[in-house]
Amino acid sequence: MVPALDRLKFIAPSWDEIHLKVLKLAKVVRESGYKPEIIVGIARGGWIVARLLSDLLDIPDIASIRIEFYKGIAETTRSPVVTQPVSTSVRGKCVLVADDVSDTGSSLTAAVRHLIDEGAAEIRVATIHVKPWTTFVPDYYVAKTDAWIIYPWEPYETIKSLTQKWMEEGLSLEEIRQKLIEVGVKKEFVEEILPLVVEEGSDLVVELESE
């Protein structure tokens, strides 16, 4: 079960730490004997992982797929939908799907189903991290964590998500600034991005003006 926000742990791996984890991930793939012909990165977190694996496994063919979550009429939960199909043909090919984390597992499940429909000969999945509650355990991964992962390529997304959650809990913007820095977001990003996030929502603007 996903822990509540007030009980969440946070980790903030650096670019160098990510690169070393993907180096280890590439080694695991190589030692398994699997010979992918193309790497498909799931937008957007999987793009960086796919690019690094492309280099470390010396596989120049790389493609993208995008999956978004929508709630249909009479549905109570959001469902994954492929909104950008795989960007090149995978028919008859051995595919390695790359993503940053298998969290719920829904995106990876949808991606694999799509690639099967597109005629891939074999599909295996590689991620850096795995959450203990995932419904999809990748073929390859290097770390398991129940923490909220603050990846270095998504500071805006991280600040926006956490700000919205903490505002709902009644925290002031100054408290949010401090908490963002405490959990591992670099101060420079907090100072630059938090005001932009505040401008996006009227509730946040009201809070800012009341300080």
Element containing residue 46 per DSSP (H, E): helix 45-56
Same domain, yes or no: 36 and 90? yes
Same domain, yes or no: 122 and 184? no
Same domain, yes or no: 44 and 74? yes
pLDDT in the model for residue 210: 31
Same domain, yes or no: 145 and 160? no
| CATH number of the domain enclosing 65 | 3.40.50.2020
Q: Read off the pTM.
A: 0.87
Q: Is residue 179 part of a domain?
A: yes
Same domain, yes or no: 86 and 176? no
Same domain, yes or no: 142 and 159? no
**For 197-209, what is each residue's pLDDT tens digit?**
998 864 444 443 3
Domain boundary (108, 129, 149) is at: 149
User: What value does the mean pLDDT take over residues 98-126?
Assistant: 98
Same domain, yes or no: 130 and 165? no
Instruction: Name the 3-class secondary structure at 116.
Output: helix
Same domain, yes or no: 35 and 123? yes
Counting beta carbons within 10 angstroms of the beta carbon of residue 188, is it exposed (0 to 12), middle (13 to 18) or buried (19 or more)? exposed
User: What is the token pair recorded at 81?
Assistant: 């939908």
Q: Is residue 211 part of a domain?
A: no
Name the residue type at position 1: M
pLDDT at 153 over 80: yes
Name the residue type at position 141: Y
Domain span holding position 17: 5-149
Q: Left (φ > 0), alpha (ψ -120 to 50) or beta: where does 22 sit? A: alpha
pLDDT in the model for residue 207: 41
Q: Name the least confident of 4-8, 31-35, 36-40, 104-108.
A: 4-8
**For 47-78, what is each residue's pLDDT tens digit?**
999 999 999 999 999 999 999 987 554 554 67
pLDDT in the model for residue 209: 35
Same domain, yes or no: 49 and 138? yes
User: What value does the mean pLDDT take over residues 26-34?
Assistant: 99
Q: Is residue 114 part of a domain?
A: yes
* Orientation angle between helical segments 202-210 and 155-168, nearest 10 degrees: 70
Distance CA 158, CA 177 (A): 12
User: What is the token pair recorded at 98?
Assistant: 């790359």
What residue ranges in 118-196 does DSSP mark as E strands? 122-130, 143-144, 148-149
> Do 100 and 142 contact (CB within 8 A), yes or no?
no
Same domain, yes or no: 117 and 17? yes
Q: In total, how many domains does the chain have?
A: 2
Same domain, yes or no: 193 and 101? no
